[in-house]
Amino acid sequence: MAKVANLFRQETNNQVTLACNAGPIVKKRIDDGEVADVVVIEPDFVEALTNSDKVRAGNRPMVGHVGVGLGNRLDSPAYDISTIEKFKKTLLGADLIVFNSVKSGEAFAKVLERLGIAETLKPKIERTAPLAIFQPVLKGHGNDLAAGTIPLIATTPGIKLLGPLPDLQSLIPYTAALMTAAPQRTTAESFIKFLVSPKAKETFAANGVT
């Protein structure tokens, strides 16, 4: 999103200030009275914010879909997780598996259930706040893994992306909406249009957003 915002600035001379967090936290901040121009969030949160008149009804373009992947420290082995069996073996061999308590974490928890290894891995699992999944891995010295959204893994310093979940993927959709009390409505509408432009989509795709 930062790269796309920079492209928008280059084309329009409009500066975009980003405030990033997980969906539930973004919704709570808005419910508590915080105002922005544009919100990019999962569709169900947008619907709830529309019902409370925080977000305008109308056109809500789909910005992209984000998949869940697995990552570890840069100095850790580059495990092959391209098949379910290799993925399962990598998880069973871990010392620590970290994932969050929101949608991407819930999706990963369901994968462990589907694979039949949730109970076996329970002693190795650490659930964290939405954006705190990498801290235990970066501070650790063992065979530690983090499961989260692919763009977040790919862009976090000190962490390498091992790959997406093989044949078990859950794509999380993100849509853009104009806030009812947007201070810069015209520019905000322009930014929303830019988010679905070919240039923006190309940048998103290069960073794991489909």
pLDDT of residue 21: 84
3-state secondary structure 152-172: HHHCCCCEEEEEECCCCCCCE
Residues of the chain with CATH 3.40.190.10: 2-64+174-206, 68-164
* Beta strand segments in 21-95, E: 38-41, 62-66, 68-73
pLDDT confidence tier of residue 158, bands split at 50, 70 and 90: very high
Between CA 146 and CA 93 the distance in angstroms is 13
pLDDT digits (tens, 9 = 90+) for 50-87: 999 999 988 789 999 999 999 999 999 999 999 999 99
pLDDT of residue 131: 84
Instruction: Find tokens 């240039």 and name the residue.
Output: 199
pLDDT digits (tens, 9 = 90+) for 98-134: 999 988 999 999 999 999 999 999 999 999 988 899 9
Q: Which residues contact 120 (CB under 8 A, 6 or more apart)?
A: 92
**Which pTM does this prediction carry?**
0.79
Average pLDDT over residues 165-188: 93
Which tokens go with 85? 């069996």
pLDDT digits (tens, 9 = 90+) for 133-154: 999 999 999 999 999 999 889 8
Question: What CATH number belongs to 2-64+174-206?
Answer: 3.40.190.10
What is the CATH topology of the domain spanning 68-164?
A: D-Maltodextrin-Binding Protein; domain 2 (3.40.190)
For residue 121, give the nearest of 88, 76, 153 by alpha carbon: 88
